Structure 1
Amino acid sequence: MTGERPIRLAIVDDDPLVRAGLRILVGGSPDIEVVAEAGDGAEAVTAADAHWPDIILMDIRMPRVDGLVATRRIRSREGAPQVIVLTTFDADEYVLEALRGGASGFLLKDTPPREILAAVRSVASGAATLSPTVIRRLIDHVADPEAGTRRARARARLADLTEREREVAILVGQGHSNAEIAGELGMSLPTVKGHVSRLLSKLDLNNRVQIALLVHDAELL
């Protein structure tokens, strides 16, 4: 990242050893800088306001204010940092709720260090999304008695999209990058980026993950 400032990272976890381990991990990467640490969600919101991180690694289960509440509060603000949730179980229903609250993805706490750093860089670049496999695993493991209602609501929201916007939304839901969508639909990369931006605005969403989840809710895949 010569000539560019490092990615500003905040680490939120109630376990000091986890925070210390992540700080050591990041310390060997000149393109990522830890600018804040927090021990619960309330401290995370304060740290986000005070230090303006680009990315927050957010634990879910914490005392006082958990990561779900903190993620919603942080992501509801203008110019909010991206959030990657941390969890022990990939089928944890709390992770799905965090994604719906605006998180850009998740990492398991036993994720190899190289993959943690890669995820931070990917989300910071704006190119990150959850793979459809991950989304399906999350949804498949969550017992949701309101699935039918959610499907109807999702389809109603998508009904106002143009045919092209709908095609782009489905490809986002399938886990394709902007470049892959451009190739699939015969469009330029700036055009795809424009469609994604309009989708976010029209659907009142704040990242690609939420587009993917809405498409999955509508059962269009």
Structure 2
Amino acid sequence: MNLSTQIRLALVDDHTLVRDGIRALLSVIPTVTVVGEAENGEEAMVMVEHCNPDILLVDINLPDTNGLELTRIIRDRHPTIKVLVLSMYDRKEYVTESLRSGASGYVLKNAPSREIVAAIEAIKNGGTFYSAEIAQKLLLDDNTINKLTPRESQVLYKMIQGLNNKKMARELDISVRTVETHRLSIRRKLNIEKPAALVKYAIDHGIISR
């Protein structure tokens, strides 16, 4: 996947192999530059001040702090920096807390590498992104989502996953205009405007199976 604008990215993970793997993955993308690395929260705070990344990839389990608390601090002090949580856990409380902490996405460590690239692209463009496994669980249950048609439910799933209109249209085999119509209908029915708010709505209404 090609990223259209230059992105400064930093990594926070206490496992050197994980950082090495992500750096190697991103090294083939000319528009992404890894500008810093840290293995704990204390190092991350110093690193962010010096490197000023656009996006910070943060693990939940850090030696000296919780990655979600670090996310909250980073977002409070540096609101222009976007945070992507990279975790091995798909538990409801972690996903919920990541959103409340200000993270723009949540990708599982066992997800295909293309999902990390897609997440970076979506977040850089002002959107949100959740691993396919997470996004699928972010769909509302039938009792809550019965306001939506089956096609609108499919579009909502794609929105939660961070897809733009063209990609939704291609995957659902419908026109871009039809996607736009469904998105407008979803916003009206749920009274929600922003994609991040849709994710929060899904979480608040009992989304992720335990």
TM tier relative to shorter chain? 0.5 to 0.7
Inter-CA distance 94–74: structure 2 relative to 1 (3 Å threshold)? same
Inter-CA distance 178–116: structure 2 relative to 1 (3 Å threshold)? closer
TM-score (norm 1): 0.63
Map 1:1-221 onto structure 2 (within 5 A): 6-91=6-91, 93-130=93-130, 134=134, 137=137, 176=159, 179=165, 182-184=180-182, 196=193, 208-209=195-196, 211-216=197-202, 219=205
Give per-residue Cα distances to partners, 1:154-191, cap 9 Å, x unaligned: xxxxxxxxxxxxxxxxxx9765367577433669xxxx
Code of the aligned partner of 1:96 = T
Is the contact made by 2:27 and 2:33 (CA closer than 8 Å) also made in structure 1?
A: yes
Once the 2 structures are TM-superposed, how far is the Cα of residue 129 of structure 1 from its aligned partner? 4.0
Code of the aligned partner of 2:86 = L
Once the 2 structures are TM-superposed, how far is the Cα of residue 35 of structure 1 from its aligned partner? 0.4
Once the 2 structures are TM-superposed, how far is the Cα of residue 29 of structure 1 from its aligned partner? 0.9
**Equivalent position SS for 1:76:** helix
Once the 2 structures are TM-superposed, how far is the Cα of residue 81 of structure 1 from its aligned partner? 1.0
Identity score, percent: 36
Give per-residue Cα distances to partners, 1:36-60, cap 9 Å, x unaligned: 1010122222222221111111000
Which consecutive unaligned segments of at least 5 residues does structure 1 have? 141-171, 188-194, 200-207
Give per-residue Cα distances to partners, 1:130-156, cap 9 Å, x unaligned: 48983673799xxxxxxxxxxxxxxxx
CA RMSD of aligned residues (A): 3.6
In the comparison of the two structures, how many residue pairs are matched? 173
Which consecutive unaligned segments of at least 5 residues does structure 2 have? 141-154, 166-175, 186-191
Distance 2:138 2:61 in 1: 17
Code of the aligned partner of 1:134 = I
Inter-CA distance 212–29: structure 2 relative to 1 (3 Å threshold)? same
Distance 1:111 1:102 in 2: 22
Distance 1:215 1:9 in 2: 29
TM-score (norm 2): 0.66
Inter-CA distance 107–130: structure 2 relative to 1 (3 Å threshold)? closer
**Equivalent position SS for 1:43:** helix
The corresponding residue for 1:162 is none
